[in-house]
With several copies, the nearest count.
Chain A
């Protein structure tokens, strides 16, 4: 992970660490904080705790997003302080559909994406990059958003082979689109598998090796987010974050202990004994299908 971030994440980059609740790569975010990257434009539908931490650590110049909260719990207080006060954090805001459409356009090699949205809302007033196009068949006006093509996208996945052919199941979010839209792609996996495992079920492959620059093996790399079939979401930690992020001092000491204070994910896990046993997934294995002919 250290090498991958050192090689592929640069100061000033537009960085995407995607994953909708599922498979959010905290391990990568923490490594970016440790390597003290600066002036990053951080894009995600839901900044979530990971960007709240990166904002607090001073990595972010700008955040591009569509829902900035701690789901079912409360606020991302570092984000709020940076936006409400004179934090000077730049923001560019869309709805979820708008962000999904931006990634879809970037992945398809198109400059924009059309969608039926924003009529009657104040979002276009708040964000002039939301524009309109007239359909040459029906004459109706549609909203448009510009393509999003990150410098680097980091995707956490259940498994990949050494070349980077990557398989994900459970919630898929916009990882495929974000990866195809990106100049560089880092895949972080729970398990490195033989190529024949990938070839054994090709319909599960979401990201092909040809667009992957680095494959990092980092078990539990998504905690406190989750990996379907590997470990559950650490909802207790998400609840605790409310109090931690509310107090800059507490947040500071959290980063000192769990990010700056450790060298890697293994060390991070050692700091929370019992964590893996508490969150480890129970087995609910799907049946196979026949690919023969």
Chain B
């Protein structure tokens, strides 16, 4: 369901910097449905990839075969990302805070971490250089604390946070995340239960349309069996 909602955020023809996991699933779903001309760029160097299997990693050989361009990573980060050619950056995250800052580095203090997470990878520069940043993450108080333990990716350019119960968007000057849309049958209280700060709601909450049967079929039977 999150993948379907995330896929809707992508417009045909856009250039998307794709992270692994749900973002990857959402991008490939969008490419197979309403956005056939979506240009998928992976930090591994594959541009315009058309994977014939769901890539397990962002360096999967299926991203290379039949892609439009394969370049070194220095070009990916300098000529494409830093040079402002990427429209959408798609990130997941262990922790997302009240202002959309993401932490994928450590739980606990950096020098003596409780849990050592993988770290930035390309997430820091994606959040800084992509014109629009989308986050996909499941709600839980641990995943949505008021403040993250470590800012791996700053929240300035975050436009939407797609969760498993509703959608959050930045609001006001400091870009505090507020609830703007709910999945069918979900109450604001259910979302608040998964968020570590007093969550504000937009006056008239939108309702997230249910996924089309075709999309679910595509997801379950083809993209992510």
Tell me if B78 and A109 are in contact (CB < 8 A): yes
Tell me if B153 and A121 are in contact (CB < 8 A): yes
Q: Given that A210-B15, A293-B61, A293-B62 are known contacts, is A67 also in contact with B113, CB under 8 Å in the complex?
A: no
**Shortest Cβ gap from B69 to chain A (Å):** 4
Q: Name B's interface SS.
A: loop
A59-101 near B? 1/0 per residue, CB < 8 Å: 0000001111101100100011001100000000111110011
Range for the number of chain A residues in contact with chain B: 35 or more
**Shortest Cβ gap from A156 to chain B (Å):** 13
Tell me if A67 and B118 are in contact (CB < 8 A): yes
Tell me if B70 and A95 are in contact (CB < 8 A): no
Chain B residues with CB under 8 A of A83: 113, 116
Range for the number of chain B residues in contact with chain A: 35 or more
Whether A115 is near chain B, meaning CB under 8 Å from some CB there, is yes
CB under 8 Å from chain A, chain B span 48-62 = 48, 50, 56-62
**Shortest Cβ gap from B175 to chain A (Å):** 12
By CB atoms of chain B within 10 A, which of A108, A125, A284, A292 has the most? A108
The CA-CA distance from A96 to B59 in the complex, in Å, is 14
The CA-CA distance from A21 to B70 in the complex, in Å, is 14
Tell me if B73 and A165 are in contact (CB < 8 A): no
A-contacting 9-mer, from B37-45, B130-138, B198-206: B37-45
Tell me if B84 and A109 are in contact (CB < 8 A): yes
Tell me if B120 and A95 are in contact (CB < 8 A): yes
Nearest chain B residue, comparing its CB with the CB of A176: B72
Whether A119 is near chain B, meaning CB under 8 Å from some CB there, is yes
Give the interface of B toward A (CB within 8 A). 15, 20-21, 39, 43-48, 50, 56-62, 64-75, 77-79, 81-85, 101, 105, 110, 113-125, 128-129, 150-156
Query: Which 7 A-B residue pairings sit nearest by Cβ, starting from the closest?
Result: A21-B59, A120-B154, A69-B118, A293-B61, A67-B121, A205-B69, A71-B57
Please, could you name 27 A-B residue pairs with CB atoms under 8 Å apart, sorted by A?
A: A21-B60, A66-B120, A67-B118, A67-B119, A71-B20, A80-B116, A93-B105, A95-B120, A96-B73, A100-B74, A120-B154, A121-B120, A122-B151, A165-B68, A170-B70, A171-B70, A172-B71, A172-B73, A173-B72, A173-B73, A205-B69, A211-B85, A228-B61, A228-B65, A233-B61, A235-B57, A293-B64
